[in-house]
Structure 1
Amino acid sequence: MVERSVWYRLPEEVTERIFSYLPIASVLRCRCVCRSWNSLLNSRSFLELWGRVSPRDFFFLVYHNSQLVAAYSPSSGRWNNLPIFDRCSLDPGRVLLLASSGGLLCFRNRNSDYPTLIVCNPVTGTSRVLPEMLRVRYIDIVGMVADKASNSYRVLVTGTTEPTSNESITEVYDSRVEGWIHHGFSKLDFLQVWYEVHAIWQNGSFYCLATPVNTARGYRFICYNLERRQWLDLNVKMPSSDIRSPSLVVCGDKILLTGKIVVDYFIRSICIWELNWGNLKWVRVGEMPEDELTKIMSPYSVLLQCQGLNDLMCFSTHRGWQSIMYDLSERRWQWLPENDAYEKNHTVAMGRNSLIGLPYEPSLSAK
């Protein structure tokens, strides 16, 4: 057994290197041992080193209502019920989880004439109420991207000043300047959407599926180039007119579309398509096997949400205890263990925001 005094004789850079290989939960526990460790493990040099060499872990968050955020860890194979609201000093009945990036979560306040966004790091317990948006009062599209190199983030919001307005406004919050930047006005019809849309980030642009109010074309695959400050309709046709509960996810360098195929009011299949950038078409790359589909078979009204990170995709239904994971590289489906926080007979409201799935990578330094 190593003597306790050995730790005090080690050079600080050696101690930092040893601690940098610990998972995030162990680092948080070690901070409570003594003042010197707490100071060391909060230092800028350690946080930068830990960010480079620590074991990478992530969670699939499943957010069903205003009270609970469940998190599945693929590395441990277990569900965790994260005390996000307590850690960030948020009232769960007054906020709605919108986006996740770089260890940060973005929330919006509920039931207010003036929408307010809150960005928090549930690991460190830090949170920031963003300043009031310049012009937007009704949010239609929201997305978030973090830059680990500069330890900064940006939040995209597109919306209107009035619910009946046909002029959309795009604004971006940049944490480097701690303020909103007006990106412009637009009367493009595909920005007038039925309900709040969550955008994903890939290679310099935000992407989302929008259902415009004044068109019968159905889902539109649109993107916003952040540097050019430009919205585009990519004119990518949906692979089927029978798709319900579609989700866009990013896995590595791929943009994937998932959804259930509903025929005669029942789910006939759940498929995965990859966007072919060469011809801007969706190519089917996966389908849930019949044996697995029968376990999820239910009326078409069941909500389905998908999230992805690296080579893994997690599908969840509005039943909190039912989730299945798909490994893109191994082409393998795997049912996740039941989440004990949800009862099988638990009824969840079927509103648009009653089921949200987000990938989350914990961070000690994001703020």
Structure 2
Amino acid sequence: MEASPIHGLPQDTLHQIFSYLPLHQILICRSVCKFFYQTLMSPPFLHLLSLRPPLRLIALRPSSHHHHHHNRHLSSRPFLPVFDPDQNHWIRFPLDFLPFRSPVAVASTLGLLYLWADSPDSSKSLVLCNPLTRQFRVLPPLGSAWSRHGTVLVGTAGRVLVLTELAALYFSGSGSWFKFSSNLASKPRSPILVSDSVFALCDVGTPWRSQWKLFSCTLAELVKSQGWNRLERHEWGDVFDILKRPRLVRASGNRILMVGGLKSSFSLNASCSTILILRLDLDTLEWDEAGRMPPDMFRCFQESSKFKVFGGGDRVCFSGRRVGKLAISTRSNAVTDPWVAWVSTPHIPFDFDY
């Protein structure tokens, strides 16, 4: 390599050449030699990458079973599996630059990743990192109960909210967490953050029969313990009763998605005929159907005891226990929009959640 003509090229020219490569090929080139690594890790090249259109990647985290198995055998080389739907390619982001044990990804925003990690004193801390530049920052520690039961929501201006029956809010640069009661009747299900408002499903039914309702609260109201607003309209009818195990997903614009199994009847243990995606316009408070899973695809999920729903914008993703595949719904703005075919994962053990 010392005599290679590539060493004679100007650095700007090298940066332009490499910038045309897909991200997964750039990561591979980093491992070719020290010269390539230094070139592709230089601040000017990273800045050039930041000017490209944003990549909409899907990051997965190991389930608790796979997480323990993974740490027992590969603890010295942790990685983050990421899928690029546009390139139909898996990427492994090494996390070995983090000086922590058992990092688990829980949230992301604008190319930054939030992970729970074990601090040296065995407490849990949220770590903010950029897997591309391999830089990180540690937020003040929280107790282990927060990491086990809390949902991490990331807002603007460096605000981070961890929500369970309690809530913890962190402002960038504040140096500490502000903890308070979430003031909900039960633990919120699949909370999401839209602008400065939190939306969550809450079970207001009985121990024998669930009854899900939609609640919202601004961050300012949450901090002041002013309570949540129950969103409902007479025109909505039985929108919350037709779905089994509903989950919320943030959509594009001022909209949210509610996803769950479409019940075949209103009986207590009714089976599901497919998975339905409903969309709520927060400006008009009107629901419409954004998509449903094709029957032949849903048959694979019928064999799974539990499935995960995640995503955002115009993509909703589904993974199922023991299914071994990932299903993606794209451009959920019309009932007839296509679903992406099953994504095979021969090199990523699909005991992953999110």
TM-score (norm 2): 0.70
* Contact 1:145/1:201, CA 8 A, preserved across alignment: yes
- How far did 1:142 drift? 2.9
Kindly tell me: are residues 341 and 233 of structure 1, through their superposed partners in 2, closer, same or farther at Cα, counting changes over 3 Å? farther
Structure 1 residue aligned with 2:85: 74
Matches within 5 A, 1:11-26: 12-26=11-25
* Contact 2:198/2:216, CA 8 A, preserved across alignment: yes
* Contact 2:258/2:278, CA 8 A, preserved across alignment: yes
- How far did 1:9 drift? 4.7
* Contact 1:212/1:218, CA 8 A, preserved across alignment: yes
- How far did 1:281 drift? 4.0
- How far did 1:332 drift? 0.6
Matches within 5 A, 1:190-339: 190=185, 192-193=186-187, 198-211=190-203, 218-226=211-219, 232-236=228-232, 239-253=239-253, 254-262=255-263, 263=265, 264-298=269-303, 302-328=305-331, 331-339=337-345
CA RMSD of aligned residues (A): 4.1
| Bigger RCO (CA 8 Å, 6+ sep) | 1
AA of the residue aligned to 2:199: Y
* Contact 1:64/1:318, CA 8 A, preserved across alignment: no
* Contact 2:83/2:90, CA 8 A, preserved across alignment: yes
For the residues of structure 2 that align with 1:207 and 1:325, how far apart are their CA atoms? Answer: 23
- How far did 1:314 drift? 1.6
- How far did 1:293 drift? 2.7
- How far did 1:261 drift? 2.7
Kindly tell me: are residues 43 and 123 of structure 1, through their superposed partners in 2, closer, same or farther at Cα, counting changes over 3 Å? closer
TM-score (norm 1): 0.68
- How far did 1:220 drift? 3.8
For the residues of structure 2 that align with 1:30 and 1:70, how far apart are their CA atoms? Answer: 18
- How far did 1:273 drift? 0.4
Q: Which of 111, 116, 139 is the equivalent residue of 1:103?
A: 111
* Contact 2:58/2:311, CA 8 A, preserved across alignment: no
* Contact 1:223/1:232, CA 8 A, preserved across alignment: yes
Aligned residues: 321
- How far did 1:227 drift? 6.1
- How far did 1:130 drift? 2.5
CA deviation string 1:236-269 (max 9, x = no partner)? 4772324233222234323211111345442222
- How far did 1:198 drift? 4.9
* Contact 2:113/2:130, CA 8 A, preserved across alignment: yes
Kindly tell me: are residues 113 and 281 of structure 1, through their superposed partners in 2, closer, same or farther at Cα, counting changes over 3 Å? farther
Q: What stretches of structure 2 of length at least 5 have no aligned partner?
A: 71-79
* Contact 2:168/2:180, CA 8 A, preserved across alignment: yes
* Contact 1:64/1:356, CA 8 A, preserved across alignment: yes
Structure 2 residue aligned with 1:364: none
Structure 2 residue aligned with 1:189: 184
AA of the residue aligned to 1:179: G
Kindly tell me: are residues 20 and 54 of structure 1, through their superposed partners in 2, closer, same or farther at Cα, counting changes over 3 Å? farther
For the residues of structure 1 that align with 2:317 and 2:167, how far apart are their CA atoms? Answer: 33
Q: Would you tell me which structure has more helix in proportion to its own residues?
A: 2
CA deviation string 1:3-30 (max 9, x = no partner)? 95476353x4444333333333333344
Q: What is the aligned-residue identity percentage?
A: 21
